[in-house]
Structure 1
Amino acid sequence: MPIARKLRHAVRRTLGPRVDLSHPARSPLGSSVVNCVLYEDGVRHPAACPAREALHRVRRSGRGFVWLGLHEPSTDEFAGIAELFGLHPLAVEDAVTAHQRPKVERYEEMLFAVFKPCGYVEHEQLTATSEVVETGEIMVFTGTDFVITVRHGRHGSLGPLREALEADPDQLAKGPAAVLHAIADQVVDNYLLVAEAVQHDIDVVETAVFSAEAGRGDAGRIYQLKRELLEFKRAVAPLSRPLEHLATRPLAPAGPEFQPYFRDVAEHLARTTEQITSCDALLDSVLQAHLAQVTVAQNEDMRKITAWAAIIAVPTMVCGVYGMNFEHMPELRWTYGYPFVLGLMATACFVIHRGFRRNGWL
């Protein structure tokens, strides 16, 4: 298997499945509910229970939190959940309609965060219409005793993340803020993987542009990469300020003890942003180099056309002179006049052709 395909398969495996339906327990609140789990002291409650019952248990005991996961809920399906957990109407509207910029907003004692997970689209060969980056959305409502995750799109599966957190009860026992950090960390780590895969595609295009088999169709592939890189940048760049707020300000329920964790995520995001910026600059350079090569090729074609036009002009001129209907013209009645003129034209064309070849025009 070629190195490019190995890299793409590795990225695909790391990013995980497209749709998270790994947990069989489904809540009766609606078909959009993937799962509803109660955690106490970082340990998952073994019995499945509806969101209302789970939230009642948590608030009655004062321990643990509820993690409710949903996938593309409708307005009607989400209305009951919003009322049960006391979610702000503006955040509810954003969660249902989707297509939001990455952000973190605070509503009293609740945080509402929007992330745009990205996935690398595997392809055998990059073309002018290849899709390189796909994006989804994850909305996270984080309260003192609950976490509600709402996913839109095929990317951003949280099943493996949930299992990883359940394998670390000490971290999960820190509360809903630990889940918020884990989601942000997974999204940003996937950004790094996608950036590396896109960088590989850029290297392939760059090599093709400067190879002997470079074609004028490479401009379409470069432009498509720039479009996909722009989509990737729209998902990554707006997240820097929200992560900076989480890393520098104690926003309840993410207290000061989580600032170092979010600071680490912000550093990873800064690396991704720098890599995207360098990739964009490199694509600009590759595109300019390709256009320069096309211009040089066109100039060479024009020189060749001009050289052949100059060669053909000589016999055209001679034939034009002897095509005039004058009675008194030199060599008209000479026996060897016709072959002499042909030889003269051939000699002149040969001399001019040799001069153009010597100067690199042909």
Structure 2
Amino acid sequence: MECVIYDQAGRSELVECELPDEACRLALKRLRGLRDGEFAWVRLADPSEDELVQLAEELGLHPLAVEDAVHARQRPKRERFGDVLAVALKTLWYVEDEAAVETGEMMLFVGTHYVLTVRHGVVDPCAEAARRLDAAPDMLRFGPWAVLHAVLDVAVDAYSDAAGRVRAALNRLEDQVFSTSRVDHTQAIYSLKREVREFRDAVQPLVPVVQGLLGGPGGEEHQAHSAPYVRDVADHLHRTDIEVRTLDELLNSVLDAQQARVGTWQNDDMRRISAWAAIFAIPTMVAGVYGMNFEHMPELGWTYGYPLAVGLMAAASGGLYRAFRRNGWL
């Protein structure tokens, strides 16, 4: 567990400990004595249920809130538990080597004098959010809502970065689909489409959550000051949501193009097969006629009958080959 306590002057004090040791008990005891203008940010990474239950008792969290934080399978959402606001969101990053979108989850509990963040997954937006708060101490005047804004801002920036990487992967896939090589990229397209759908599941439900924060439960004075910052995050998220929807539609178009190309390849193959079958049909026909062994056949006893038959077969086959080549069948 990490606990950062901010005072009125914007100074911070970091306490790192493991529940339920003495340092953690002292940090939690100090939380109960925070004054106006002070707030604490408690950070947990992949906690056990016992740790969360113990912390919930100290912070007065609702049991349903604890249940949501323990089971990391929540859709992005925003809920109220008394005077505590709970926000669930998905962390997201793009793995270049695997061309895959990986997701984690984070729950934020915003109280009067504290923020509790519970992270599941590899990526930790809290570290970057803390760095941004240290670089802009004036944001701390918003209290716990400054942490909520910073974490949302970092998560949405990560969405935007991942969307750009997915766009680059899609562009490479498009170049491969429309290249001269006859390689079927259907599996790669479906794989990327599955990743984009996972991306949409993280971004799309978060849009109304952030929009709802613009009319948040804080006082009117707080809303007037913080609304521009939340609106900025909402605008970035909305732009990313449009980008992800566009990527999904483009993947549908690329898949249709790949299927059309596969159909074209099959038609080309059938035309070539049909052309060669027509070319070989003429020698087969001539040989078949002269192989019936009738006694009275034209030129049967002629000295040059055999060369004439072979020449006829070669000339007719060559004429068909030339005609098919001219029309692009061969």
Check whether TM > 0.5: yes
CA contact (8 A) 1:143 1:253 kept: no
Q: CA deviation at 1:76?
A: 1.3
Mapped to 2, the partners of 1:37 and 1:314 lie a distance apart of 89
**Secondary structure in 2 aligned to 1:45?**
strand
**Matching residue's letter, 1:318:** V
What is the count of residue pairs matched by the alignment? 321
Q: CA deviation at 1:253?
A: 7.8
From 85, 101, 121, the equivalent of 2:59 is 85
Whether the 8 Å CA contact 1:38–1:54 is kept in 2: the answer is no
Q: How far off is 1:317 after superposition?
A: 0.9
Q: Does 1:208 align with 2:176?
A: yes
| Matched-pair contact (CA < 8 Å) for 1:52–1:84 | no
- Contact preservation (8 Å) 2:3, 2:14: no
Structure-2 residue corresponding to 1:72: 46
Structure 1 residues 46 and 136: CA distance shift in structure 2, 3 A: closer
Distance change (3 Å), C-alpha of 1:84 and 1:229: same
| Contact 1:106 1:112 (8 Å CA) reproduced | yes
Select the residue among 60, 74, 78 that pairs with 2:33. 60
1:307 to 272, 275, 282: 275
Listed one character per residue, the Cα deviations across residues 122-142 of structure 1 (whole Å, up to 9, x for unaligned) are 22xxxxxx3421111111111
- Retained in 1: the 8 A contact 2:44–2:118? yes
What SS class does the counterpart of residue 78 from structure 2 fall into?
strand
Alignment partner of 1:251 out of 205, 217, 221: 217
- 2:130 corresponds to: 162
Q: Contact (CA 8 Å) 1:66, 1:147: kept in 2 or not?
A: yes
More relative contact order, 1 or 2 (CA 8 Å, 6+ apart): 1
Q: 1:186 to 1:143 in 2, by over 3 A?
A: same
- Is the 1:43–1:173 Cα contact (8 Å) retained in structure 2? no
Matches within 5 A, 1:308-323: 308-323=276-291
- 1:100 deviates by 0.8
Letter in 1 for 2:73: H
Partner deviation per Cα, 1:70-109 (whole Å, 9 max, x = no partner):
1111111211001111111111101011111111111111
CA offset digits 1:171-206 (Å, max 9, x no partner): 123211110111111101111111111111111111
Please, what TM-score do these two structures have when normalized by structure 1? 0.84
TM-score between both structures, scaled by the size of structure 2:
0.91
Alignment correspondent of 1:222 = 189
Task: Pick closer, same or farther for the CA change 1:67–1:200 going to 2, 3 Å.
Answer: same
Give the unaligned 5+ runs of structure 2. 17-21
Partner of 2:174, secondary structure, is: helix
**SS across alignment from 1:158:** helix
The separation in 2 between residues aligned to 1:135 and 1:359, in whole angstroms, is 53
Identity of paired residues, percent? Answer: 49
- Alpha-carbon distance in structure 2 between the residues aligned to 1:134 and 1:253: 37
How far did 1:54 drift?
3.5
* Structure 1 unmatched runs, 5+: 1-32, 124-129
Aligned partners of 2:135, 2:292: CA distance in 1, in Å? 100
Determine if contact 1:36/1:50 at 8 Å carries over to the other structure.
no
Q: RMSD value over aligned CA atoms?
A: 1.9
The structural deviation recorded for 1:358 is 2.0
Alpha-carbon distance in 1 for matches of 2:157, 2:15? 32
Q: Which residue does 2:113 correspond to in 1?
A: 145
